Structure 1
Amino acid sequence: MFHCFTNRKSEVLRDFLGKKYNESSLDHFLMETLIKSFRSKNGHLDLFVRFLHGLCLESNQRLLGGLLGQTENSPETIQRVINNLKNKKKFKISPDRSINIFHCLMEINDLSVHQEIQEFLKSENRSKKQLTMIQCSALAFMLQMSEEVLDELDLEKYNTTDQGRQRLIPAVRNCRKARLGRRGLSDTGLDYLAAALKSNPSYPTEVDLSGTYSNLKGSGVKQLFDFLENPRCKLETLRLERCDLSEISCDYLEAVLKLNPSYPREVDLSNHKLQDSGVKQLCLLLENPQHQIETLRLKRCDLSEISCDYLAAALKSNPSHLRELDLSSDSGYSTNNNKLKDSGVKHLCGFLESPGCKLETLRLRSCGLSKISCDYLAAALKSNPSHLRELILWGNKLKDPDVKQLSDLQQSPDYRLETLVWR
């Protein structure tokens, strides 16, 4: 390993070899070298610091013969080094770099954290076990190095601190579904997630950052989802519900998705103040024949009938991919509700009547609709009866006569409408 030492590394090694450290200074020296390695931006000292920790072992000292001179490292000294590694919680480093602390423990031949995580992975009651930060680093390393791909990484399921959850982010590289947003990610957490996703764009196939506390402002979206530009990206599902997005976020998202139009297939942008201008940007994606979005959820995005006009025009030009469209509101909330009204549904029906339309599910809950909307929908289904299977109109204060035409279509074998919910 000596051939790879830089001048700086050699200086530190000479300090180590040229002095007989007493028991009070060796652990201090190793901690100082660890801190210096964390201050380097590219991690070029990480492997070297592991090597220095390995020199504490008598077996390694014997291998180096007389190079080290006289070294008398008592068990108490080694234990202080171990305690320093396990108890340091204030390192401002990335989750990837924090894994180096775990490696240093392994170099000293302390296998306790490794064994604890192995027992944790075998446990049936994982939620009861509270993980320390070093245990989270070890778990992240073991998960991402596993030959078996993790089906789901849900940070909410781990009993640890917010900082501990942040240290689990590297495991995103080896999971199919990543659910990360319910407790929120800090700005630095988003940086770490973006780095993990870029390093292995083939995984995960589903990213869920939904949650009231996820702080994905416009620049955060751009940084986080730059990985979508990678041709190797195979992200099927992107969920960003309640992430404080704005219409600017739609600009960023539309820009990066242009470069890899085949993915994602499912996009959930519900519960944001996107407004009509934000939907207009998304429609630039939908009208592109190369894009293959099959599910689009825009619940409670402060939309009006103008958004329906944009959507209908875009989908008419590229009608064959979309299978599910959700434009619902919630009667229990007064903010961000979609006020589509009957005029908005009339625009959407222009798309439903299109011969190329393959839409199977349409959700229009609590959108301020009346009998006229039901008539528009019934007429559209009569002209194109072969696709729509599920129609949700609950929350629009409709009565039996208002939905009679739709109810008749549901009963007719000539139509595929299997589910009609209006009360």
Structure 2
Amino acid sequence: MYMRGMPGKTTKTSYDSTSDSNMKEQFKCIFEGIAKAGNPAFLNQSYTELYITEGECKEVSIQHEVRQIEATSWKAASSETTIRCEDIFRPLPERREPVRTLVTKGVAGIGKTVLTQKFTLDWAEDKANHNIQFVFPFAFRELNFLKDKNLSLVELVHHFFTETKEAGICRFEEFQVVFIFDGLDECRLPLDFNNTEILTDGKLLPSARLWITTRPAAASQIPPECVDMVTEVRGFNDTQKEEYFKKRYRDEEQSSRIISYIEKARSLHIMCQIPVFCWITATVLDHVQKSREKAELPSTLTEMYIHYLLVQTKQGNVKYHRRAETDPIWNSETKKTILALGKLAFEQLEKGNLIFYEGDLKEYGIDIKAASVNSGLFTEISKEGHGFNQERVFSFVHLSIQEFLAALHVFVIFMNTGVDLLRKRKLPLHRDSIVKYLFYTAVDKALQSPNGHLDLFVRFFLGLTLETNQSLLRGLLKKTESKLQVKEKLVQYIKGKIRDSPSPERSINLFHCLNELNDHSLVEEIQEYLRSGSVSEVKLSPSQWSALVFILLSAQKDVDVFDLKKFSASEEGLLRLLPVVKASKTSLLSGCNLTWRSCEALVSVLTSKNSNLRELDMSNNDLQDTGLMLLSSGLKNSHCRLERLRLSGCQITEKGGDFLALALESNPSHLRELDLSFNHPGISGVKLLSGQKDSRWKLETLKIDHCGKCRLKSSPLRYFCEFTLDSNTANKNLLLSEDNRGVMVVKEKQPYPDHPERFDSWKQLLCSEGLTGRHYWEVQWKGRVSIGVTYRGIKRQGDSDDCCIGWNDQSWSLLCTAQGFTAWHNNTPTDIDTPPPTDSKRVAVYLDWSAGTVSFYCLPSIVSSLKLTHLYTFHCTFTEPLYPVFGLATH
């Protein structure tokens, strides 16, 4: 098929009212879940806003769509700009050019078609997009029937929208027109973007807007230069899921109960991101709640789909075969149809086919009329009419239905005949020692798949081994004397695979498999560690690391801020928890003993198009220039969307600064804040980073304080700082000197003005600087002196313990006297065995705020010596900035 302009007269008179009326009639109702079957619902009443965000079409996504759904379910909603249906053609704030060609992608059942219907209905009802005169929605599954026809653009419009022909409209150049092409992934027409006149290149009808929807894998068929904007439909976020079920169940108590139930079953909660799955879930829950048996609500995907199969089969029996509600579900007709559909599902799934023609059904012995009885499973998707000889087209209601029926087919054939379809051989029935290998094969096949195309299949297949699930299928499975008892062997086999897996991310589907087998032992072990707060103190096994990843990614709330120290301040911890870093918006890796090897691993996060990471803190790790060179290779990647990067105290030199500057020159549009303090980036590196003239350059904040060659030392000395004493806090018997860097006790009260922050009884004072991060400072003392840190809120008035440093929970101090040292906190003293040197009165303080430590060291008399003698370290979780504080002649 090709399109070309056609000359003719231009008019738009009688068309408006006829077109709007037809559009309203065509799109006012939707058939939820099943095309043209079941009970229609008014679109305006049942429509739930979808989560739509900006996307990309540069790369082909080969991942199984359930994996894509899981990946997007980990994303923090706050990190992305969302788009409403009526604003679909409106440029995003950072874009100025108008959007003419729009591609919207999303997995099957996510709501793309309904989105285009809502857009069209709102336009027809004059609720939105008033500047548009024509909207022409096409479906590729209908256009496929024109593959042997040569039509001009106008002929195509006249064919599908006869009102335009009747109105005599033959030219559209003077009008604002939107063409919608839904379902590019279903297109069976030859697409040649180089040699065929096409709408997307803007030559055929330059004023037209074009909207194409597609599943992710097909998006790359359109050259990027032909696309102005890509959006992605993510389905429902958590709020929208609740809204859907509240619309479905008007009774508030009932909807709350169902929402609570879905949230507890994590695998169901993730799948409910897909609107079609919400409909499947609601269908099953309606049935279970109305049934006489009052069965427990399904808690796994396998249970849910078995119940759905039973509901659809029973409805077909009652509605089409005039059977009674109490009649057995399984009879010769229903068995034959379901087994035939299962065979079609399995064999075509192996080939990657999701759409079937009338000839395919005949090949599998499927009667079209019988298949239509199961319209909740298998449905006709071609549209009748339009005057061409159409071959009828069918598909399963959703890919997951096909995968479930495929797994059911393999399982039923084995249970009834002993034939192993996965390995094409016959096994002795119910010899568990041999039978287990059938299921091992399924697990292995799923793990070997690079794109996870068998992930859902294997979940269903293993779930069917449970006796509780088999009891629901009684009548479809042959009666046997012995029971299939392979659960424990399967659990151990899967745990072994988790243990041996090099990547926790690859193990996620294995945890879903354990869930289908109702085994939660690994997850419960880690949850106990998390509850007790001891996970960072335990040496975890590889299986336990994978379980921790699964738990963190399965958390009900977004993985917004990830703090590695809570789990393991180590390189192994980072490498094991890398999938959580990718899913988080902010990752705090400061002071976790990381090296350049960690940077090598983080490159995969920075370059991933699915990464949610926007803020990365790697401060106080010895990354050095080697690490920064690796990190820069990720920063320059076009997929990197990092906005804040903290590299304070990472031993970076001028060479590393140059690496960073070159990376940002390649990808300047995102990083807004860069912290290079306590490094030695050199003059050239700073110039490159701060002197850019590129309009795309977004760097607003560059922190380079406390920089210099001394910051390359490996000891705490690289965090050396000098502070200023705050005269507004000084007791009036304290005299400041040396530009507020020295202080001594005097008898005469000093003429300091009254100030609410002044210590009026205790001879104490604070420094002006509030500290977080890492800092090192040295103090020379004489007599009897307390040296420490305190929160700003320490009391100042009176002589109570609340005012004295070290005698309350607001401060931490070291009392220094000629007799020795004593550590004080919360009025609890700790004597220190190390005696003070006779020739030195110098003490060093090292604060690592994020690690929750304040350490005190004794210094030798020789100022140039780097030798530090450790005296004492306080361990605490700090909640606000700390101020250096001094007390003279105290205690």
* TM-score category of the 2 structures, normalised to the smaller one: 0.5 to 0.7
Cross-structure match for 1:43: 452
1:135 paired with 2:544, answer yes
Q: Which amino acid aligns with 1:60?
A: N
Q: Which amino acid aligns with 1:281?
A: L
Q: Which amino acid aligns with 1:42?
A: N
1:182 paired with 2:589, answer no
1:6 paired with 2:349, answer yes
Taking a change above 3 Å as real, the CA distance of residues 192 and 291 of structure 1, as seen in their structure-2 partners, is: closer
Deviation of 1:123 (Å)? 1.0
Deviation of 1:168 (Å)? 2.1
| Residue 689 (structure 2) aligned to one of 277, 282, 295 | 282
Taking a change above 3 Å as real, the CA distance of residues 229 and 70 of structure 1, as seen in their structure-2 partners, is: same
| Residue 328 (structure 1) aligned to one of 708, 711, 721 | 708
1:193 paired with 2:610, answer no
Cross-structure match for 1:258: 668
| Residue 205 (structure 1) aligned to one of 610, 615, 639 | 615
DSSP-derived class of the 1:6 partner:
helix
Q: Which amino acid aligns with 2:673?
A: R
Q: Which amino acid aligns with 2:487?
A: I
Separation in 2, partners of 1:137, 1:217:
28
Taking a change above 3 Å as real, the CA distance of residues 282 and 159 of structure 1, as seen in their structure-2 partners, is: closer
Separation in 1, partners of 2:479, 2:619:
55
Q: Which amino acid aligns with 2:672?
A: P
1:85 paired with 2:428, answer no
Cross-structure match for 1:307: none
1:222 paired with 2:629, answer no
DSSP-derived class of the 1:47 partner:
helix
1:149-171 CA distances to partner (integer Å, 9 max, x unpaired)? 56753435435996665342222
| Residue 646 (structure 2) aligned to one of 221, 226, 238 | 238
Structure-to-structure mapping, 1:1-400, within 5 angstroms? 6-7=349-350, 16=411, 17-18=413-414, 19=418, 20=429, 22-65=431-474, 67=476, 69=478, 75=485, 77-88=486-497, 89-93=499-503, 95-149=504-558, 152-158=561-567, 165-172=574-581, 173-174=583-584, 176-179=586-589, 182-184=593-595, 185=597, 189-190=601-602, 192-194=604-606, 198-199=609-610, 201=612, 203=613, 205-208=615-618, 211-212=621-622, 216=627, 218=629, 220-223=631-634, 226=637, 230=641, 235-239=643-647, 241-242=650-651, 246=656, 249-255=659-665, 257-260=667-670, 263-268=671-676, 277-285=684-692, 291-297=698-704, 325-330=705-710, 333=713
Separation in 2, partners of 1:52, 1:259:
47
Separation in 2, partners of 1:282, 1:126:
40
Bigger shift: residues 281-290 or 175-184: 281-290
DSSP-derived class of the 2:617 partner:
strand
Q: Does the 8 Å contact 2:430/2:484 carry over to 1?
A: no
Deviation of 1:21 (Å)? 5.3
Taking a change above 3 Å as real, the CA distance of residues 147 and 96 of structure 1, as seen in their structure-2 partners, is: same
Q: Does the 8 Å contact 2:647/2:677 carry over to 1?
A: yes
Q: Percent identity?
A: 25
Taking a change above 3 Å as real, the CA distance of residues 182 and 97 of structure 1, as seen in their structure-2 partners, is: same
Taking a change above 3 Å as real, the CA distance of residues 42 and 281 of structure 1, as seen in their structure-2 partners, is: farther
Q: Does the 8 Å contact 1:178/1:206 carry over to 2?
A: yes
Deviation of 1:106 (Å)? 0.5
> How many residues are paired up?
320
Who wins on radius of gyration, i.e. which is larger? 2
Separation in 2, partners of 1:279, 1:30:
60
Taking a change above 3 Å as real, the CA distance of residues 259 and 64 of structure 1, as seen in their structure-2 partners, is: same
Q: Does the 8 Å contact 2:606/2:639 carry over to 1?
A: no
Deviation of 1:44 (Å)? 2.0
Taking a change above 3 Å as real, the CA distance of residues 243 and 267 of structure 1, as seen in their structure-2 partners, is: same
Separation in 2, partners of 1:205, 1:160:
18
Separation in 2, partners of 1:191, 1:291:
21
1:201-254 CA distances to partner (integer Å, 9 max, x unpaired)? 3x5534327533696363553225647754xx5x33433725897466324431
Taking a change above 3 Å as real, the CA distance of residues 14 and 271 of structure 1, as seen in their structure-2 partners, is: farther
RMSD value over aligned CA atoms? 4.8
- Larger strand fraction of residues: 2
TM-score where L is the length of structure 2: 0.30
- Larger helix fraction of residues: 1
TM-score where L is the length of structure 1: 0.58
For structure 2, the 5+ residue unaligned runs are 1-304, 306-341, 352-402, 419-428, 726-736, 742-766, 770-776, 780-891
Q: Does the 8 Å contact 2:571/2:598 carry over to 1?
A: no
Deviation of 1:33 (Å)? 2.5
Bigger shift: residues 144-153 or 97-106: 144-153
Separation in 2, partners of 1:56, 1:105:
12
